[in-house]
């Protein structure tokens, strides 16, 4: 869609895709991506837009007065993987023109102090953006990847959904991003169990590890690299994968894939809850603890 290093007129981007024409965060309602724009004008108010020593692109959130909060554009960035949204980063090049930097993945954030538009000290949210291409190679079959194939599927699903902010240091958050990329891939392939989740046919051949060959497809994203969420990734045979990207009916086809994954994930969440209740001894329908006889809804002992 966009070419790295190419110059675009920002006005043309909004006329084509929509989204807010002012400010740094543009969230077109009809598109599956977010556009971020940088510039030097905001630096006097503590805004950052630069590469860090750790290899992150540091991008300051929005909010002119008072502490920045996770709402509107800031929330959109933080939750973009859960919402199946790409992030496309542009840098101001000249008046009205922007240069495309590339696709980014938010792998965390940090909070710093800085002045607001009135000069008052406030909390500033700075997002850590990782180039999507850096995570593409993180799904190679190493020891961690092979261990994931032996984990219970329920544990693997939790692993695939761990938020980056659960780690304190930038290096830990980046390591988690790489680990999540592997977990997402293994989870989806194991959920498919060797059968294309679109057409229902077996994988066309077996890999060198002896597993049926299928390809993870990120339903709402333009590329298939980097981390995502179990609700937005599906295991496809090569033919269906190409159809999802290149066919004349790719939009309708991807909507159908969304519904397939939604049904599967809802059923899996329901099964996990039932499993938890069985392990805990709680009857799901009555709410009674089978071991103690206590009704957890009323606190009464039903054995009396």
Nearby residues of 251 by Cβ (< 8 Å), 6 or more positions away: none
If you write DSSP's letter for every residue of 250-262 in order, what string do you get?
A: HHHHHHHHHHHHH
The answer to whether residues 11 and 93 belong to one domain is yes
The answer to whether residues 161 and 102 belong to one domain is no
296 part of a folded domain: no
The answer to whether residues 24 and 105 belong to one domain is yes
289 part of a folded domain: no
The answer to whether residues 73 and 199 belong to one domain is no
Query: Residue 276's pLDDT is what?
Result: 47
46 part of a folded domain: yes
The answer to whether residues 154 and 249 belong to one domain is yes
The answer to whether residues 112 and 235 belong to one domain is no
If you write DSSP's letter for every residue of 19-37 in order, what string do you get?
A: --SSSSEE--TTSSEEEEE
The answer to whether residues 260 and 172 belong to one domain is yes
Query: Residue 229's pLDDT is what?
Result: 81
74 part of a folded domain: yes
Structure tokens at 33: 């991506």
Last residue of a domain, one of 131, 166, 191: 131
Across the chain, how many H-helices and E-strands are there? 8, 10
The answer to whether residues 60 and 141 belong to one domain is no
The answer to whether residues 123 and 186 belong to one domain is no
Residues of 182-211 as b/e, b for ≥16 C-beta within 10 angstroms? bbbbbbbbbbbeeebbbeeeebeeeeeeee
Query: Residue 139's pLDDT is what?
Result: 54
Last residue of a domain, one of 75, 99, 131: 131
Angle at alpha carbon of residue 225, lines to 181 and 228, rounded to 5°: 50
The answer to whether residues 110 and 166 belong to one domain is no
The answer to whether residues 69 and 178 belong to one domain is no
Query: Residue 256's pLDDT is what?
Result: 96
Q: 222 is in which domain, residue-wise?
A: 135-280
Residue pair 225/132 in contact by the 8 Å Cβ criterion: yes
73 part of a folded domain: yes
Query: Residue 132's pLDDT is what?
Result: 81
Last residue of a domain, one of 131, 154, 184: 131
The answer to whether residues 122 and 189 belong to one domain is no
Written as tens digits, the pLDDT of the chain (304 aa) is: 899 999 999 999 999 999 999 989 999 999 989 999 987 555 544 566 789 888 889 999 999 899 999 999 999 999 998 888 889 999 998 889 999 999 998 988 989 999 999 999 999 999 999 988 776 545 556 788 899 999 998 888 888 777 666 556 777 887 888 888 888 899 999 999 999 999 999 999 999 989 999 999 988 765 665 557 888 899 999 999 999 999 999 999 999 999 999 999 998 777 665 554 554 455 545 556 555 665 544 555 555 5
- Total domains in the fold of the chain: 2
């Amino acid at each position: 869609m966009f070419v790295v290093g190419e110059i675009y007129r920002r006005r043309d981007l909004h006329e084509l895709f929509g989204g807010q024409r002012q400010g740094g965060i543009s969230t077109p309602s009809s598109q599956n991506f977010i556009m971020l724009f940088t510039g030097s004008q905001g630096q006097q108010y503590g805004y950052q837009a630069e590469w860090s020593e750790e290899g992150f692109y540091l991008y300051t959130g929005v909010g002119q007065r008072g502490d920045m909060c996770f709402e509107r554009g800031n929330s959109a960035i933080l939750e973009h993987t859960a919402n199946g949204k790409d992030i496309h980063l542009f840098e101001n090049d000249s008046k009205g023109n922007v240069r495309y930097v590339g696709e980014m993945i938010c792998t965390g954030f940090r909070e710093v102090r800085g002045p607001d538009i009135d000069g008052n000290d406030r909390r500033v949210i700075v997002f850590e953006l990782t180039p999507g291409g850096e995570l593409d190679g993180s799904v190679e079959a190493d020891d961690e990847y092979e261990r994931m194939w032996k984990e219970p599927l329920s544990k693997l699903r939790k692993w695939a959904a761990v938020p980056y902010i659960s780690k304190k240091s930038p290096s830990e958050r980046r390591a988690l991003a790489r680990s999540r990329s592997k977990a997402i891939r293994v989870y989806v392939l194991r959920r498919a169990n060797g059968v294309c989740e679109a057409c229902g046919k077996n994988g066309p051949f077996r890999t060198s590890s002896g597993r049926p060959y299928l390809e993870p497809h990120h339903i709402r994203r333009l590329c298939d690299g980097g981390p995502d969420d179990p609700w937005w990734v599906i295991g496809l045979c090569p033919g269906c994968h190409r159809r999802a990207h290149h066919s004349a009916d790719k939009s309708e086809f991807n909507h159908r894939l969304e519904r397939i994954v939604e049904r599967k994930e809802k059923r899996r969440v329901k099964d996990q809850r039932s499993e938890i209740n069985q392990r805990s001894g709680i009857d799901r329908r009555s709410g009674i603890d089978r071991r103690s006889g206590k009704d957890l809804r009323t606190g009464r002992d039903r054995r009396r």
